[in-house]
Amino acid sequence: MIEIRNLSKIYKTKNGHVKGVDNVSLTIQEGEIYGIVGYSGAGKSSLLRCINLLERPTSGGITVGGIDLTSLKDGDLRLARLKIGMIFQHFYLISQKTVFENIAFSLKAAKTPPGKIKNRVEDLLEMVGLADKRDVYPSQLSGGQKQRVGIARALANNPNVLLCDEATSALDPTTTKSILNLLKKINKELNITIILITHEMNVVKEICDRMAIMQEGRVIEEGRVYDIFATPQEELTKEFIESVVSFEMPEVILNKCKGTIVKVLFRGEVAGEGVISDTLQQFNVKGNFLHGSIEYIQESPLGIFVMELKGENEEIEKALQFIKNRSAQVEVLRDGV
């Protein structure tokens, strides 16, 4: 488990002091994939670098696996860092070394006995799907392949935690998906806790169990990814989610609608049931679908529909109450005119 307690990081600049991380407290459970989301400058990368003390926090504490990292002296901190792997957006491979040598470098730096290095590197190459790239140089690799080398290098010393700093931001969508699948495989098979920094909600939706939204150095919202997608509280969170699931209706469409316009959210298995069709059969109302989809988050369905209901107000109220009893949320966007 990782505990971040009242952590702040203040930078000294020519223009004064800048607070990169502002009193953040988070608990990340062992074996989960945790996403930290925010725009550039939100403080998420500063927070990540504080977790393994690449940057020492100005105040607060970091406990990883029961060890308070901020209390360790240099030698003990170096040993503790061996159990915290890190992968980066821009790979940072050594161009003059082969794929094998890049991965072996981490093992040599940790003073691994030479006789154990060869087998360990070959096992890692097999795990990340690069066994056939053993002797090639980084310049001969695609972006996705370079990131696979970076992942193998981060796993070399059998870490318990893997920190990912915008690990997919430089990759195309197809390659991103393959890297996320690899991270899910690593998490499941090795039970490694993964903390993933990103500004892409698609990444969080695809891979994370829980998440935090950061703004101006602070965590403004935190919880299960499914719950945050279903019921976002903060405007910034809603903005991020709308980049993935957009339900903005064109005014020209809304102006044509004379009935009551509602947004209906279905959680869990009820998202796949025929609630709307049952409603239209049981009550004297007519329905017109305007927009909708079912998203799958951690394999659980989340259905969101925008529709127009026409009929007598009393019947519409009965229909809405029926839907509310069968779903998580009904929001009236506009009353009938």
What string of DSSP letters covers 24-64?
EEEEE-TT-EEEEE--TTSSHHHHHHHHTTSS--SEEEEEE
Question: CA 168, CA 186: separation in Å to the nearest integer?
Answer: 16
Weakest mean pLDDT among 65-79, 119-133, 286-300: 286-300
42 or 272, higher pLDDT = 42
Is residue 77 packed enough to be buried (19+ CB in 10 Å), middle (13-18) or exposed (0-12)?
A: middle
- State the average pLDDT over residues 190-203: 93
Q: Where are the domains of the chain?
A: 2-242, 251-334
Its pTM stands at: 0.86
Average pLDDT, rounded, for the chain: 89
Q: What is the pLDDT of residue 188?
A: 94
Q: What is the pLDDT of residue 255?
A: 73
CATH entry 3.90.320.10 includes domain 251-334: no
Looking at 1.10.10.10, 3.40.50.150, 3.40.50.300, 3.40.50.11540, the CATH number of the domain 2-242 comes to 3.40.50.300
Closest CA to 304 of 319, 287, 292, 289: 292
pLDDT in tens, 308-317: 888 888 888 8
- State the average pLDDT over residues 253-278: 77
pLDDT in tens, 21-41: 999 999 999 999 999 999 988
Q: What is the pLDDT of residue 118?
A: 92
Q: Which two tokens stand for residue 103?
A: 């991965």
Weakest mean pLDDT among 59-73, 118-132, 182-196, 318-332: 318-332
Q: Which two tokens stand for residue 137?
A: 């140089």
Is residue 155 packed enough to be buried (19+ CB in 10 Å), middle (13-18) or exposed (0-12)?
A: buried
Give 264's strand partners.
Answer: 305, 330
3-state SS class at 107: helix
Question: What are the residues whose beta carbons fall under 8 Å from the beta carbon of 59, sequence distance 6 or more?
Answer: 6, 7, 8
Closest CA to 213 of 234, 230, 183: 234
- State the average pLDDT over residues 53-78: 90
Distance of CA 327 to the CA centre of its chain: 26
